[in-house]
Amino acid sequence: MQCFAHFSLFCALKGLIMGKNIAIFASGSGTNAENIIRYFEKNASVRVRLVLSNRKDAYVLERACRLGVPYRAFPKSDWEAAESILDLLRKYQIDFIVLAGFLLRIPDALLHAYPDKIINIHPALLPKFGGKGMYGDRVHEAVVMAGESESGITIHYIDEHYDEGSTVFQAKCPVLPGDTPADVAKKVHALEYEWFPKIIERVVNSYKMIGDILHRLCP
């Protein structure tokens, strides 16, 4: 029994210390997804292993194909049931899930399978301009209409509610008098491209650091 307990601890520690596999969920063009894939192309400790979408015509799938990352689209009913999604995530040994413009609600089964291991980027400074239906140009239009002096990005964990998970990171940009929603979008996209891959790496590596510490404490 003691040997079995030691073996189980070894397997758990090995899982924390080894490189981590990421799945990206996206619904649209996939510019953020491509940026993330390219960022981790030569990274030994973090790998993008899978791209999933809820739309079979989403251009993100073309980007994944071109970059050599396995990809697949599932209909809304499969996302709601979650079983086939979970099976594929297990097949590719996915450790973390990154939402990059994914517009469906994450089902509870996925939240339970990946607690504090699903992160999203929102194109505003939450808690402002968040919630169901607030995405893309709708957010930037709302920011301009509200007369905000700044906007930005929020990278956060996912929970059962839209845009209410714990914040991991925020970055800001000015909204100047006369800025249009397109102007704000351009500034926000620049922040997304600069920071999202870096924060993903930081979050994933924090789990690896925990594994390294536990390994030293329990050799």
| CB-CB contact of 174 with 149 (8 Å) | yes
| CB-CB contact of 192 with 153 (8 Å) | yes
Going by C-alpha positions, the residue among 174, 154, 178, 175 that lies closest to residue 165 is: 154
Helix (H) or strand (E) holding 121: strand 118-122
H-type helices in 40-180, by residue range?
59-66, 76-81, 83-91, 108-113, 137-145
Whole-number Cα distances in Å, 99 to 27, 60, 119: 9, 12, 6
- Annotated catalytic residues are 122
| CB-CB contact of 153 with 171 (8 Å) | yes
